[in-house]
Structure 1
Amino acid sequence: MRIEQTELADVLLLVPQPFHDARGFFTRTFDAEAFDERLGAPGAAAAFVQDSQSRSARGVIRGMHGRSGRGEAKLVRCAHGAVHDVLVDIRPSSPTFGAQQAFRLDDKDFHHLYVPPGFLHGFQALTATADVCYRIDRPHDPAEDIGVAYDDPDLGIAWPLTVTQISARDAAAGSWEQLLRTVWRRPASR
């Protein structure tokens, strides 16, 4: 497994090396030793405590979600289908604060992301169905949920498809400006 740095500070792209044959394929989706070595933190992989999976229909957007407090680290991969996955750095002290990057995650290349604490995350399903798997480093606490509207003009995320459905929670999400003012107590500017 290769692990590459992305344009966003501290976000890593994990690139498995699948083996294909007449039966199908086999791939290692996670390697704790390689992960710990890349982070320079022995035992970092053991911090992941919860796995979740979602299934979405084509055009569905889930996001943009984050956590306040100490945040959460996550590994994200698409086990079936394909998604347009977007991250926005919301760490005020980061050199890439306010920057975003999009990734295609799918069941062909098997790429997945290590997302450190302090990012908004969202995705849009590109295929008839898409299963996304998340591994997070602490139990979910709804009291720390934060979000920004997927169509916030200040973020200007370029979603590739017409949006077919979002949750009530995502429809009620605030703006980037509100996040800056209320969560980080900063003036609204990127």
Structure 2
Amino acid sequence: MKATGVPEIDGAFLFTPTPFADERGFFSRTFDAEVLRSVGLDPDAFVQDSLSRSVRGVLRGMHLRSGDGEAKLVRCSYGRIFDVVVDLRPASPTFLNRAFFELSDDTQVTLYIPAGCAHGFQALTDPADVSYRIDRAHDPSQDVTIAFDDPELAIPWPLPVAAVSGRDRKAPSLAEVLKHEEN
């Protein structure tokens, strides 16, 4: 497994596995504590694993946690997704930068998203399964959502939006969220 920094988002990494393939299919390591340690991440910090399944065109995001934030390891375990990260850490050298990725079951690449970054994705296949490894327990009172179609973010979602949650549909703009976080 190889770790590569993401230039657009300070502290973000892509972890690319080296699958073993033969006539049966493949075997791939999707988590390696030593590789995480090699880039300064604590593998023992992750306390929760979650899975989402989406149909083609479904959009989930843009989400983050208030307070101390939430770091995540995200991988598309089945299908393909268009994945987006936005750096919302005011003290970060990459504050307000965006990064886009295509994650798929073909590669099993895992994306590390630092706490304080917003995350969202759109399913490119039917279905697309996304696995999350999260560094703290979910607290719904700290959920923050930003409008996925905010012109300031200008995210180039590749497909028409087939479905989105009510919370995501009613989400405030980036400017509103940043103003609220300042207070």
| Fold agreement, TM-score > 0.5 | yes
- Tell me, which stretches of 5 or more residues in structure 1 are unaligned? 186-190
The code of the aligned residue for 2:144 comes to I
Residue 90 (structure 2) pairs with residue 92 (structure 1):
yes
Confirm or deny: 8 A CA contact 1:92 1:184 kept in the other structure. no
Distance 1:73 1:30 in 2: 15
Query: What secondary structure does 1:165 align onto?
Result: coil
- Residue equivalent to 2:112: 114
1:147 aligns to 2:148 (yes or no): no
Following TM superposition, by how much is the alpha carbon of 1:111 offset from its aligned partner in structure 2, in angstroms? 0.9
Q: Matched residue pairs, number? A: 182
The separation in 2 between residues aligned to 1:65 and 1:162, in whole angstroms, is: 20
Structure 2 match to 1:4? 4
Structure 1 distance, partners of 2:56, 2:75, is 17
Q: Flag as ranges the 4+ runs of structure 1 deviating above 2 A.
A: none
AA partner of residue 66 (structure 1): L
Distance in 1, Cα, partners of 2:19 & 2:138: 31
Partner of residue 78, structure 2: 80
The superposition leaves residues 62-119 of structure 1 with CA deviations (integer Å, 9 ceiling, x where unpaired) of 0000001000111000000000000000000011101100001000011110111010
Residue identity over aligned pairs, in percent, reads 53
> In structure 1, how many angstroms separate the alpha carbons of the residues matched to 2:111 and 2:165?
24
CA distance in 2, matches of 1:94, 1:34: 24
Aligned residue for 1:158, secondary structure, equals coil
Supply the distance in 1 between the matched residues of 2:53 and 2:149 (Cα, whole angstroms): 21
Which position in structure 2 is the counterpart of 1:38? 39
Say which SS state the counterpart of residue 144 (structure 2) adopts: strand
Q: Cα RMSD between the aligned structures?
A: 0.8
Separation in structure 2 between the aligned mates of residue 180 and residue 48 of structure 1, nearest angstrom = 27
Question: Partners in 2 of 1:37 and 1:14 — Cα distance?
Answer: 12
8 Å contact kept, 1:105–1:111: yes
Cα distance in 2, alignment partners of residues 184 and 160 from structure 1:
32
SS in 2 for 1:139: coil
AA matched with 1:24:
G
Q: Secondary structure at the match of 2:39?
A: helix
Which residue in 2 is equivalent to 1:188?
Answer: none
Mark the runs of 5 or more structure 2 residues left unpaired by the alignment.
Answer: none
| Structure 1 partner of 2:100 | 102
Cα deviations by residue, 1:107-148 (Å, 9 ceiling, x for unpaired): 001111011101000000001110000000110001111111
Rounded Cα–Cα distance in structure 2 between residues aligned with 1:97 and 1:38 = 21
**Among candidates 113, 128, 131, match of residue 130 of structure 1:** 128
Give the 5 Å matches for 1:157-172: 157-172=155-170
Counterpart in 2 of 1:174? 172
